[in-house]
Amino acid sequence: MSVVLRLTLRADDPETLRLIARLVRRAGGPARSRRRPAGRRGVVLVPTDGLGGLLRSVAPRLAAADPELFGDLRVAPEVEGGVPDGRSAVLALREEAALLDAAARACPEPAVRVVFTPHRLHDNWFSHWDGDRRSALVSMADWDGRFSVPPPAFVAYQAVLHGLRLLGAGYDPEGLAHLETRGCLFDFCRNRPDVEIKLQAGDFCPSCAAAMTAAGLPVRRLLRLARVIRRLAGTLVSAR
Ligand SMILES: [Zn+2]
């Protein structure tokens, strides 16, 4: 005798998404890729052009919020920015590549490097990810007082955004990003000032939260990291 079990799955039903996530985990899906590559350390933040102090003010907060992912988060010694035109320069692609190569030479071991520069990126994006180099380049352009949100909130956001790549292929920030500004950490922010809305909200929209749950990502832990961003943005003062 055989029994046929029929299930009705609804993509917008949290219970269904949890079930899918469990099945994917059991099948050796994204959760398995959470393990760090053998022999490689976690995330390192790499300063250039005097940004070390700012990065050091943020790193311990992320380490405390998620010791598993960021417990060994460290700030590397400063790497030479190598741009002769001063702090308002726009980095050309070859300068960007040279900077990431210099960071890789200075810190060869980490699984993910997040390099911070005061210069603007050529397309005016907040950051770029270079998958081959396992490195992000974050531009601190406009964080010299033009935004009202304190710069540490942006540093924490970028460290989390790229550091979570340690979770493996199930984490796909480029796939999650949406053009609509929803006060979600995956808002694309084509209109740059919208970044303030994103950092002050420090949250995930229902659609991104559901997608991350379905991918088997540890959403509860991610919410703790989002809370750090919110606190640094000044919107969680009561919880200090
Ligand atoms: Zn979202």
List the structure tokens of 33: 């890729």
pLDDT at residue 24 greater than cutoff 50 = no
Per-residue pLDDT band for 89 (boundaries 50, 70, 90) equals confident
Compute the distance from residue 209 Cα to the ligand 1 centre, in Å: 7
Q: Determine, yes or no, domain membership for 6.
A: no
Whole-number Å distance, alpha carbon 215 to ligand 1 midpoint, is: 14
* Structural domain harbouring 58: 40-239
- Say what the pLDDT of residue 237 is: 62
DSSP 31: G
Q: Which of 10-19, 63-72, 204-213 has the lowest mean pLDDT?
A: 10-19
Asked whether residue 88 is assigned to any structural domain, the reply reads yes
Cα(197) to ligand 1 centroid in Å equals: 13
Distance 181 CA to ligand 1 centre (A): 8
CA of 106 to the centre of ligand 1 (A): 35
Count up the domains in the chain and report the number.
Answer: 1
* pTM assigned to the model: 0.81
What's the mean pLDDT in 151-174? 95
Residues 6+ apart with CB under 8 A from 92: 122
In the reported structure, the alpha carbon of residue 153 is separated from the centroid of ligand 1 by a whole-number distance in angstroms of: 18
Rounded to an integer, what distance in angstroms lies between the CA atom of residue 240 and that of residue 238? 6
Residue 49 falls within a domain, yes or no? yes
Domain membership of residue 183 (yes or no) is yes
Q: Give CA separation, 11 vs 17, 81, 193, 224, in Å.
A: 7, 46, 33, 25
In a domain, 162, yes or no: yes
- Looking at residue 152, which CATH number applies to its domain? 3.40.390.10
Say if CB 128 and CB 113 are below 8 A apart: no
Q: In the predicted model, what is the mean pLDDT of residues 172-198?
A: 95
